[in-house]
Amino acid sequence: MGAIVEKREKLVSETLKDPTVGDNADAYTSLDLGVWKVLLARENVARGFGVSMDRWNTVTAAYPLLLRFLKEVYALDPQMVILFILLKLWGSVESVLLLYVSSRLLQVIEVGLAEGRPDVHAITQAIVARLILTLTATTNWMRDFTCPVLESRVSRYFEDYLLRANLRLDLPTSTDSSSKSQARPGDAWRSFDGLCEVAQRVFALVSQLAFISQQASGGLAFTLVAVVRPVWTLTMHRTLWLKPHVVYSENTAYLRAQSLQSMSASRYRADVIAGNIAGWITSEYRRARDALGTVSEEDAWSQYGMERTPVSKIASEWTGELPTLYWALNAMLRPAKFSMSSIAILQQYSASLNYSLQMLFWDVSEVGKCVTDIKILYETANIKNQIADGDAVYPRASADVSESQGMDIELQNVSFAYPGEKSKESALRDVSFYIPAGALAVIVGANGSGKSTIIKLLRRMYDADSGVVHVDGLPIADYRLADLRQAQATLTQDHELYPLTLGENIGLGYAEHVDDEEMVMQAARDGGAAALLDKFTDGMKTNLKPVMTAYGYQLDDEKHKSLKTVLGKLEKTAEVSGGEKQRLVASRTFMRFRTGKIKLLSVDEPSSALDPTGEFELFERLRETGEGKTMIFVTHRFGHLTKHADIIICMKEGKVAESGTHKELIALGGEYASLYNVQAQAFTESEVISESNSEDSEEY
């Protein structure tokens, strides 16, 4: 565990010192709060107010984007947006009217009590006015009704926007944490609602200030006195919530305890029971807790907010007494103008201003977050892909490239390392080979030798770091990505099943005909998945893993058996074996062949979960279907393929160890022969297939 902590400290230190990082170490200050370490951005922030010049500049600089956002939201439903904003603003007016009616009622009652003759008419009017205002709760109902409707429209609009933006990202960009977008559709609505909330708070505060400053029992002086405490409290309060920061722990004992505690999760249960290690876990956990001692584990936000001395707290309490001192002093100096109702009214005014200011300061501090979220939403569509698109059309309309041929492939001195890879060695190092159009090539080698990486470069999932990949005589980067990928069919062990129906999982190999059940079924037969479709009641309409929406709450095992039974039957998932999954994915590839545009078939270890018969049948169907096209098979099980291969490329540690036909490579007695002999031993009586009987081995 100490190594983990040391690694974390080194990572943080190196990141902050890295000149390529946007903010350097001088922009941060480090705090130790119990088990937590906090990296706090050094911004010009007044204690808890949360509005720094940096944030204000961010807001003003984002004005064009903010205006675009508001226009797009407005365009979704102008009437609904206007109604929503008006209902928000009415809440501000309502608070001022309630202040007026309440103060009027107190004054009328006091006069009546003083004179011994209550003015029933005036009191009745004040009560009716207050009751009418309480009926404005209807506006709250309308706001509650309008809000989810408008929220759904805004969220769906930006959900569609983000779906398109994210789907256009290439593989290196989508996996790069520095360019990965953190935008969520719900951020759009929260930002819009937050901006409207700020407008409401500003309007409410201005209305209250205008009203109170004009009242005989209030006035400008009292208004200024009443706002001292909320301004003081909010500007002096220590809070992390409104400041950019990073929180993490490097406490060895705490991290150890958390790791051990996590081992009680269900995913570890079988191993814990089988290994009989529950006692060890409990013992180690107690040791870690004892080592932690009295170090606080309270969250960093609470610890940061604790004042080191009571001075600020005392000052806040004193400023809170200023309104009381104001009316007490005025009661002594001008007793004729003050009464108990006046005092009650002033306290009401003070409480109202205090609440409005606190809410306004909080909402204004959230404006920066709203603007940032809006920027992130729009910037998602502007993330630049690392794989640049080319201009050349594929296939090339050239006399020496026949449409009936496959894809002509040549790698020249290609080297490549995966982005962020911790290995010291590159996945490919100075790789060169040539596969003519229409040839069947087999790439073999031990695990980690670079076989799969070659396929990824041909699909342009990544680009080579150095060297050139040529396709039909041109660098692969010159071609339009859509054209290049349309001409390829790929079958790998990395393919996933989509959370869609079985028919769609197959049919999306040829998306334009995904609903053609006859074509889908034929692809299923070719891929060996027809029997799987027949196994399910809904056939190709079966969804193995539907989106889960059903849940139960506070269901008792005895009292609610029927409900629990219904819940158990809802949205049940179905499982398929590894071999069945591979047959479904293979069927998708056969569906893709039906586009009539495939010139390269790449097969990368797709049969690891198939039995030998299934593997043989799959390879035979692929070979027959792909006849005339360039075919590349990546495998570590040579049996069915090598005797048909036009060229075998043997990889070792990221390099081409040797290449040639099966007969030629066996005769060399090198890496390929060694790998082949190891597998052949399981099927022959002799321990080694020598060069002299290579003719026989060729028929294996």
Residue among 64, 67, 65, 75 at smallest CA distance from 153: 75
pLDDT above 60 (res 660): yes
d(CA 323, CA 349) in angstroms, rounded, equals: 10
Residue-level pLDDT at 699: 38
As to burial, measured by CB atoms within 10 angstroms (0-12 exposed, 13-18 middle, 19+ buried), residue 202 is: middle
* Per-residue confidence (pLDDT) for residue 58, from 0 to 100: 65
Mean pLDDT of 648-658: 93
pLDDT higher at 459 or 102? 459
Whether 18 has a pLDDT exceeding 60, the answer reads: no
Question: Could you read off the pLDDT of 306-346 as tens digits, one per residue?
Answer: 777 777 778 777 877 777 777 677 777 776 666 666 667 77
Going by pLDDT thresholds of 50, 70 and 90, the confidence category of residue 105 is: confident
Confidence of residue 96 (pLDDT cuts 50, 70, 90): confident
- The pLDDT assigned to 254 comes to 92
534-561 as b/e, with b when 16 or more CB fall inside 10 Å? eeeeeebebbbebeeeeeeeeeeeeeee
- Model's pTM, two decimal places? 0.72
Q: Which of 529, 492, 487 is nearest to 507 (CA)?
A: 529
Chain segment 75-85, per-residue pLDDT in tens:
999 999 998 88
If one counts every other C-beta atom within 10 angstroms of the C-beta of residue 423, the result is 10
Q: Residues with Cβ < 8 Å from 326, sequence gap 6 or more?
A: 221, 222, 225, 346
